[in-house]
A and B are shown apart, each in its own frame.
Chain A
Amino acid sequence: MSQPAMINRYRWYELVGIYAGIFVFLAFILAPFVEGFSVSLKPLGLLFSSPYRFWPENGSFEAYRTMWVSVPGFARYIFNSFFISTIVTAVVLVLVVPSAYAFARFQFRGSGALLAAFLAVNMFSGAVLLIPLFRLMRSMGVLNTYFAMIVPGVAFLIPSAIWLLRTYMMRIPRELDEAAFVDGASHFYTLRRVILPIAMPGITVVAITTFIGSYAQQFIFALTFNSKTEYMPLPIGLYAYFGRQEVIWNELMAASFVGIAPAVILIFLMQRYLVAGLTAGAVKQ
């Protein structure tokens, strides 16, 4: 970004104001994580005592060890979350790449309305359609299997994936397709050999956002369509730390951070793609 340096020179009180604003804003965003981390370091006895103290005196990482003992299946929950998200992402990509290309390149009667219909799917959350989805899953015989969480999960991630990838593909010069076409390549060959390689960065962004979307939003389908412990994903699995008498908060928080870790690592590795990807679909090109 080449801006003249002068225009962005701040006076000291402007700088103080901006940093104070950022601090307040980020304090709101990060407070639960800071508190959660502090909780994960405190022994239960200190947690259930008043008055409230923020600093974990005699804090230790003990809860990060005992969490695996009190809920032996926890690794399985993380695996389930990853497994479900991976399959969901793969299925979404298989469905979305061809349709995004069709929407980006071909205008035919009804294509605009069809795209609008896809986007309208975004307006309905799974929660509204739970009853018929439940009956559908039951009649397909997939209740209490991985599929009960994968099948509806895919449907609600398709619209934004199509929108994102279509925007990306529209920026690929049309001349490339036409040149291939003039040289006698078939439509299918053009898509596979010309468009797909160029669209790879866009497809990567869609894959990442779909994966994260699926990882973050597994709650309601898992809550309603699955009751088998061995298939539970992380968000539902964490309920295992809710004992009969009391919630084992320090272990719950420790387990939450262990569960978040993969997503956080992804964010830091992929942050450039992420900011571009999450907003590109929404902002007009």
Chain B
Amino acid sequence: MSVRRSTVVFAWILLFPAVLYVTVIVAYPLVDTLILSFTDASLKKTTKWVGTANYDKIFNATFAEVIIRTFVWTAFSVAIKMIIGTFGAVMLNAAVPGRALFRVLTMPPWIVPMAIGIFMWGWMYNGQFGMISGMLQNWGLVDGPVAFLAHGSTAFWATIITDVWIGVPMVTLYMLASMQAIPQDLYEAAWTDGAGRFYRFRRITLPLLVPAMITMSMLSLIATFNSFDIIWILTQGGPNGDTTTMIIDTYRTAIGSKKYGEGAARAVLICIFLSIFCIVYFRVTHRLASGESR
């Protein structure tokens, strides 16, 4: 089918407003970040080029630690999200009475303002009066109060758990939708042949879910790498920087200390990582899609 020129013109007219908007608010800032990263921009009126000085500054031991921490934090969070989220989806996919209600009940963490959920977790993590420490003490599992957000290692896991909690509904609903897209006759055919429930799950559901799991893990990876609100509200990157991820570090440098140039260099590094994830994501989903149609 040959595309008429008037059609192409019309398509571009339709696209123009959105393209213009995203160019100004997203594409231009991306370029601006790159430019700023080579300057000493700050609150001062004048800025001058400093070459790669900002990049020289960030390639040191502390920053390598931040990068590693970000990856470890992200990897654990994504893995736990996928496990709990898929588990929930499998349970909610069972044809039992009440499942419609249960499905709705998985949504709140996703739908209420993130900050509110995080405040609630903040209170639960409270050492002296919070629920988790209190329960553990009542059950005799710990001797004294545990202030989860006051110590590096517990704060690290506490922020991960909260991130998991916010991310799980998305995983569950997505995996649930993918499970329901599996043709029912596959199960019926296997059932007719005498395959048990667990066998059907292992041989039909799981293999057919792998593409959805890969796609969801990638999406979740990108979202988690960008995670800001949770750590900022719970610990602001503390104690002693033990929960400082790249995003938090960038925010502190740029907005906290007003070192725009240095902050921009850090942001560029995040963008490079995100672009790599993004390319992998497109490659993988493309391959999955072409594999399915074959």
Give chain A's interface residues, CB within 8 Å of chain B.
1, 3-4, 6-8, 10, 14-15, 18-19, 21-22, 25-26, 28-33, 35-36, 39, 47-54, 81, 94-96, 98-99, 101-103, 105-108, 111, 114, 116, 118, 120-125, 127-136, 151-152, 154-156, 158-159, 162, 187-188, 191, 212, 215-220, 223-224, 234-236, 238, 249, 252-253, 256, 259-260, 263-264, 267-268, 271, 274-275, 278-280, 282-284
Contacts and interface: CB of A to CB of B under 8 A. Distances in A.
A152 B289 CA distance: 32
A32 B8 contact: no
Contacts of A264: 108, 111-112
By secondary structure, the B interface counts as helix
Contacts of B119: 238, 252-253, 256
B116 A283 contact: no
Interface string B193-237: 000010000000000000010011001001000101100110000
B115 interface: yes
Contacts of A212: 111
A249 B123 contact: yes
Contact of B108 (A29, A102, A135): A29
B65 interface: no
A29 B85 CA distance: 11
A31 B124 CA distance: 10
Interface of B: 3, 6-8, 10-15, 17-19, 21-22, 24-26, 28-30, 32-33, 36, 84, 87-88, 90-92, 94-96, 102-117, 119-121, 123-124, 128-131, 133-135, 137-138, 145, 165, 168-170, 173-174, 176-178, 181, 184, 187-188, 191, 197, 212, 215-216, 219, 222, 226, 228-229, 232-233, 247, 250-251, 254-255, 260, 263-264, 267, 270-271, 274-275, 277-278, 281-282, 289, 292
A260 B109 contact: no
Given A52-B129, A238-B119, A274-B107, A131 B254 contact: yes
